[in-house]
Every structure is written in C-alpha cells, then in structure tokens.
Structure 1
Amino acid sequence: MSTQNPTAVRVYLARVRSALADLPESEVEEILEDVRPHLAEMEAELGENPKVDALIERLGSPESYAAELRASGGYPPRPADAGDKTTVLKVKTGIGGARFAFWGLVFSVGGFALFGFAAAMLIRMGPLLGLLFIAPVLAISVIYVARRGVAPIAELPEVVKLREIATSFQANRNGKGLVYFRSLKPAWWVLCAAVLVVFGLLLVLRETGAVLLLPLMLLAAVAVAWAGPKLKGDRRLLWLAVPISAFVIGSMLGGAGAAVDLIAKRSYGGSSYNGYPPSSGDTYGNPQLMYGNQSVDNIYAFDAEGKPLTGIYLYDEEGRPLSTTRYACEKGTGEKRKIGDDNRYPRPQIERGVQDYDGNRDGYNGNRSYCQEKTEVPFSAAIPKGAPVPPSSSASPPSSSAAPPPSSSTQPPR
C-alpha cells in the first residue's frame, strides 16, 4: 500500500478526527497514527478501492470508532453540544437501550458460566436448558449493538467508571499481567473451540439426547474461533465471544470438580474412614444394603426344612455388622419414623395408608393416616432337596457336657 491513504480510508479518518476534535491536536495525531496501520490492513482485506460503507460495515461508524478509541485511551467522552437539541434527544432515548445491552452482556456472562459449570459437573445436558432463559436477553443486546454500535455503551457512567478502574489497575501493576494475558489471546480462542467440541462429545456419550445439542456446540466453537481474533477491529463481537468464553471457563471449572469428585470416590471406594465397608444410602442418606444395582430393605432366613428364622444378626467375613436403618410406626401420628440402625433381621414390614374414623381402610369420611407393623413372613421358601446339610446336623450326638454360651456378638434366634 502506498503512503497516501485511499480515498475511503482518508474520508473515514477525517470523520474520526472530527469526532476527536475536542482533544489536543498532538494527542489526536498520536491516536490516528496508531490506527492507520489497522485501517491499512482492513483496506487490504477489502480489496482495491474500498468504499467508505465497506469500512463502516466492518468497523462501525467513524463516530463510534472514535468513541472506542477514547475508551481504550482513557479519554473522557465527547461533550454534547448544549444547543443541539437533536443530539441531546438521541442520547436520552438511546441510553436505555445501551444500558440494557451492557447489563444484558453481564447477565449473559454470569448465566453462561453458571450453567456451563453445572452441566460439566454433572455431565448432563439438563442444566444447559437454563440457557433458554438467557438467550432472549443476549439476542436483544446483540441486535442493539449490531445496529447502534458500542459507542453509546462506552459513554454509560458505569462503563466509564469500570474503564477508569481498569486503567488505574493497569497503571499500578505496570500492565505486565494484562499484557501477558493479551499475548495468550490467539491460543485462548483455539482452546475455547476445542473445549466446546470435547464437551459436546462427552455429553453425547453420556446421553443420547445430546446428539441434538452437538451441532450447537460445533457452531459455537466455529463462532468463537472466528470472532475472537477480530475483537480488536470490531468491539461488537464482544457480545458473541465473551459469553462463549464464560461458558468455557465455567465448564472447565465444573469438569475439574467432577474429576476431583471421581478421584475421591475411587480413593475411598474400598473402605470408609472408620474401617467399615462403604454403604449405599437412600434419598435421605440412611444406610442401605445393595444386591447388584437394587437396594435390599429386608432379609429373610430359612433353615434346611424351609422354616423361617428370626433374630438373625448379619456380619461380613471380617466380623463387621451389616447394619441398615430400622423403621417403626409412631403411635401418636401414625407416621413411619426412623428408630436407629442395627444388623438384626428380619424387620417388621411397615404398612401405611389412610382410614376413616370407623377403621375402614381407604375410606373417604374423615380420612386419617395409619401405620401398621407386620411381623409375619410374606412368602414361603422351598429349600431344594439337594441342598447341603449344615455340619452340626450330620455330626455325632452331642456329649453330655454343656455347649458353650453364644458370643456377645451373635444372639440366638427368638
């Protein structure tokens, strides 16, 4: 490109200069010198003899571009002309939309990070449905910045205050940390795209319904990889790249939490802190026995002749009691309540329902709940004829000496 700017770039710079006319001339020249290389690159991308409209489509209006230069350089907003009633009216009518667009972005960032964290922590697509409530807010914000640009947003008092805080922080820290993070931007956008693709594939492996979600994940990956590198030239893309980045950060934190939880479960999968085997719990965390993938609420034992045994105490091979929660009926309220944990079986069956005041079950006049404990065995067992006989029954008759008393850990059946 020659040292003389093409007509479109020269016209665009002239309008930018006019929008910065309230600043000292030396500072305006310094600002324009900084942006000329960027406009030269843009001109090269647009081809030969680009029109001003093409530059405006890529960068926004020269006035909004000048406002972004003010914001990035820490300059105050352009003072409004007190005599120009049209300008004052536009500012008053546009500030509501600008504020909605800004806080819509903030709200979307928080929501995307939160739901991304929850979905990755659970490895479920259910939490991602919450994004449906955020999408309309973000869509309205995107439509605003696409039409009006970011200049009205840059002039909001809260945005100016945040920019001052960021400038002060950068000055106090000498900007080293910020410069370092800025240097990582190209790699960050690639990482975001990779995380989105991997997360989508994990959801598909976990839930078949996530196949419908995978195209959206791929689309988001392409969008962030495309929009990220162009943020410097078009700040409107912040409303696309920043929420996706927040989602990636939240999902990465959630994935880390899920990994820590999985490692902890595997580390303590064989034993618990007190030396007892790990127990499965019901909805309220009470201990339960498991047979395969099903919980066992009660255990019935029978002798070789098929007679039920009562008062049986269960232990594992290391002498540890197989205790579960025991329930009983509360007489005052007729409710089922927990009375403790032990390893004695079988337990009474708890039957609950409603009855009327005459005692009729499932009545409709004056219904009240009832609770009943049933101790009978609900089924009979047919012991196979070829079942092995316990050694005690096939041994010689016992001697006249008294048998040793049972140990304290095992009580005789009652």
Structure 2
Amino acid sequence: MSTGAAAIYLEQIRAQLSDLPPGELEDVLQDVSGHLSEVAAEFGTEPTTADLQARLGTPEQYADQLRTAAGYPPRQPQKDDLDAGWNALRWGLIAATVGPFFVAVAIFAWSRTETSFFGLLGFGVLFVAAFFGVLALHGKHPRVVLQTAHGARAATAIRGWIDQIPPNVRHELVTIGQPIWWVARGMIGAGGFFALFGAPAVTVVGALAGAVVSIWIGRRTQQDGRWLWYVVPLNVVAAIAVPAFLAAAYMGASFGFLDTYGTRHGGSAYNPPDNGLRLNGTPISNVYPFDAQGKQVSVRLYDDDGNPIDLELQDCAAVYGQARREGTSNLFPQPVIVPDENGVVTDEENCKDTTKAPFTPPPVPATTPTQTPPTPAPPTVTPKPTKPSIPHGTPTATLPVKPTR
C-alpha cells in the first residue's frame, strides 16, 4: 500500500469501521487494502482521491457496502466519540494558532525582553494546548476528530489540495522533502528557542539536538497519531520561522546587517538608538558640569548645529504635580527627585528636588606654573676699525716742505 491517496482512502474506511471488534476490523481492512492496490494498479499512475471516489464511491459509501455485505449493523455516531473529537480538535486549533502567533511576535520583536517573554509564552501555550488535546481523546483513536463536522470538512479540503499536486511530485516530497523538513524544523525550532537566552554555543548545540528529536518525532507520529497535536503546531512555527530567518539573512547580505536573535541580543548589527543621551551605549539621565576649579556650575548644552541637547523634565512638578509639566530642558544639571531613606517617594507633599551632584567629583589635578626660559643675550660683536674717509670737497692740508739748502 502506497502512502498516497489509496492510503488516505484506507484510513478513512478504518475510521468508518472503527466500531467493529479489533480482530474483525483488521481482517476487513486487509481485504480492502488488497482491493485498493488492484484498483490503483488499473490507473497506470498513482490515482488521486477524486479518482478513487469516482471508481469506488466515498469512503463512507464503501464502508456502508462492507457493512451490508458482512451483515454488520449501520454505524451510529457515538456521542462520546463526537465530544472527544471536538474537544481534541479545539485544543489542537489553539496549539496551532495561538502558540505560533506569540512565537511570531517574538521573532519580530526588537528588544531581548520582548523576544524572551513572547517566545516562552508561545511555546508554553503550544505545548500546554497540545497536551490537553491529547488528554481530550480519552484514549480513543485520533480518527474520532474526522467524525466531527469541522474535522470532516478540514480533511476534505486538505485532500483536495493534495490532489492538486502531481503524483510524481508528491512522491518526491514524501521520500526526499519530508526528511529535509524534519531536520529544518528541528534546527529552527530548537535553535530559536535556545537563542532566546542569547548563548551562541547553547543555540548551536540545541539546534543539532532539535534536528535529532524532530526526526524521532516524525517517525513516532507515523506510528501514533496523537503526536500530531504536537507536530502540527511545531510545523506551523517552523513554517513561520524559516522564511523569517531566510529574509533576515538576505537583509544582512544586502545591507550589511543581520537583524536576528543574535543581533538583538548583543550582536554588532545596526539597531535604532533609543531616545535620550547615551555614553558608550549606556543611557544618561542627567549631566553635572564642573568648572576648572571643581565647582559645580549650570550650563546649557547644544550640538554643533545649534540644536539643544535636552532631556525630559524629571522634577517633582513633572512627575508628581497635579498639573504635570511636560517637555524637555537643556539646562544642566536638571533638578531631580530626592528619594527618602527607603529610596522611594511616597507622595507629592514629601517630594523634594535637588540639582546637587549625587557624587563627589574627583579633586582638581594640580597644575605647575609654566616658567619661561630666559632669552639668551645676543653675542657681542666688536666692530672693525675703519679708515677715515676724506669728505668730498674738503681742502687738503698742505704738508710743510723742508727748505733746500
């Protein structure tokens, strides 16, 4: 028996004959399985659900014919089965919708606190609702869900979607795509969960362990249908998370940043800054200026474009006043509320403001007066004796002439 439309058709017949004694039910289903294999072989290719119903009728009609041929009474829906099926279906819908919704909110949240809160809430709702869905079966076979009106309509719609897929593609999806999906589901689900705590090593180990567990759950689900209450919601979570991580990886490759769990939890990617002043990433609630002599002064701060560097008002009138003041100020230090001995302010009457720095500034470093080195005297230059010049136009003295004897 294949895993296609014939196997689904056989399971629907099993649900219609589930009220028969177990031994007789297995004998009947063995004969039906052989008949379905022969009918499927006549089509040449794997038939769709519509092909089988056109040839054999609906599973309900086929089961009724078996009852008539074997002399079994018509099936009467049991109220207990309907109640169990509806309750199990309701809890399953909660697990598959509400839980993944909160997980999606966690994936796209900006802050680590929001991511952790919504992530834990989503997984908590998912597993708790799935647990109650299994309990609602009261030990009955999960096929009782198909006996409810909503379950039958959903099964018919899903079968219609599956029939739209070509048989060869369905075969590849089952044989190749299913194991790949199990691995991706486990790695994304477990890795995303452990990434909430911001530990990269734990995230990697958790993702690998999640892949192993996911494969085991997939095998287990084929043997016990109750695991569907856990697997289907986890598939929805993985279907949301996988595209989200791929989109984040694409954004990181295209724009140089990766906005995923790691970047929101301490990574180096870009994050929009919060309002207010920050120093090395730490918010600043006030500024206390001191002059060169260590005396506290009041100043107004502006940036290089002349815009005021301001903060929200945080004095008693702004926080506890009846007509609360709103706005900002760039006059520092700003007045802030003085807490009482217990570190709190109980009411407006006891509220006090202060602009005094809550710390003692470090001592002003001692400065050594600057001494100007003496200017060296210019070297003394002795002038050379110069030959006196005879002024132009000055009469020349006549030397006495020695008389001749």
Interval of TM-score (by shorter of Structure 1 and Structure 2) = 0.5 to 0.7
Q: Which amino acid aligns with 1:325?
A: E
**Any conservation in 1 of the 2:190–2:210 contact (CA below 8 Å)?**
no
Q: Which residue of 1 aligns with 2:215?
A: 225
Q: Is residue 2:232 matched to residue 1:242?
A: yes
Q: Which has the higher strand share?
A: 1
Separation in 1, partners of 2:191, 2:368: 52
1:174-206 per-residue CA deviation (whole Å, 9 max, x = no partner) reads x14898577434325423423533554565566
C-alpha displacement at 1:97, in angstroms? 1.2
Q: For 1:149, give the aligned amino acid.
A: H
Q: Which residue type is aligned with residue 94 of structure 1?
A: D
SS in 1 for 2:283: strand
Aligned to 2:327: 340
Code of the residue aligned with 2:352 in structure 1: it is: Q
Check 1:36–1:212 CA distance in 2 against 1; reply closer, same or farther (3 A cut): farther
Q: Which residue of 1 aligns with 2:127?
A: 135
Distance 1:73 1:370, change over 3 A: farther
- Inter-partner Cα distance in structure 2 for 1:228 and 1:333: 59
The residue that corresponds to 1:405 in the other structure is: none
Choose the corresponding residue for 1:184, options 159, 173, 177.
173
The 5 A counterparts of 1:128-167 are: 128=120, 130-142=122-134, 147-166=139-158
**Partner SS for 1:207:** coil
- Deviation string 1:17-50 (CA, Å, 9 cap, x unpaired) is 88x7xxxxxxx9863426799xxxxxxxxxxxxx
- For the 8 Å contact 2:337–2:354, the answer to whether it is kept is yes
- Tell me the equivalent position of 1:194: 184
Q: Is the 8 A contact 2:311 2:330 kept in 1?
A: yes
Give the CA deviation at 1:372.
Answer: 3.0
Question: How far is 1:15 from its partner?
Answer: 0.3
- The aligned counterpart of 2:36 is 31
Consecutive unaligned residues of structure 2, counting only runs of 5 or more, are 1-23, 43-51, 260-270, 371-405
SS of the counterpart of 2:328? Answer: strand
- 2:287 pairs, out of 299, 311, 314, with 299
User: How big is the shift at 1:94?
Assistant: 1.7
Number of positions where the alignment pairs a residue of Structure 1 with one of Structure 2: 311
Q: Deviations over 1:272-294 (max 9, x none)?
A: xxxxxx9854xxxxx32112243
C-alpha deviations, 1:102-127, integer Å up to 9, x for none? 23322222244234434544575552
- Specify the alignment match of 1:16 in structure 2: 29
Aligned partner (choices 365, 370, 375) of residue 384 of structure 1:
365
Whole-Å separation in 1 of the counterparts to 2:185 and 2:349: 54
TM-score with structure 2 setting the length = 0.55
Q: Name the amino acid aligned to 2:154.
A: L
Which range moved further: 162-171 or 102-111?
162-171
Match status 1:101 vs 2:93? no
Structure 1 vs Structure 2: percent identity of aligned residues? 17
Give how far 1:340 is off.
1.7
Distance 1:312 1:119, change over 3 A: closer
Distance change (3 Å), C-alpha of 1:180 and 1:337: farther
Maintained 8 Å contact 2:99/2:123: yes
Structure of higher CA gyration radius: 2
Using the alignment, how far apart are the partners of 2:139 and 2:37 within structure 1?
Answer: 25
- Change beyond 3 A, Cα 1:31–1:305: same
Counterpart of 1:308 (choices 283, 296, 301) is 296
Secondary structure, aligned partner of 1:309: coil
Q: 1:181 to 1:129 in 2, by over 3 A?
A: farther
* Aligned alpha-carbon RMSD (Å): 5.3
Alpha-carbon contact 2:286-2:332 (below 8 Å) kept: yes
Tell me the residue number matched to 1:406.
none
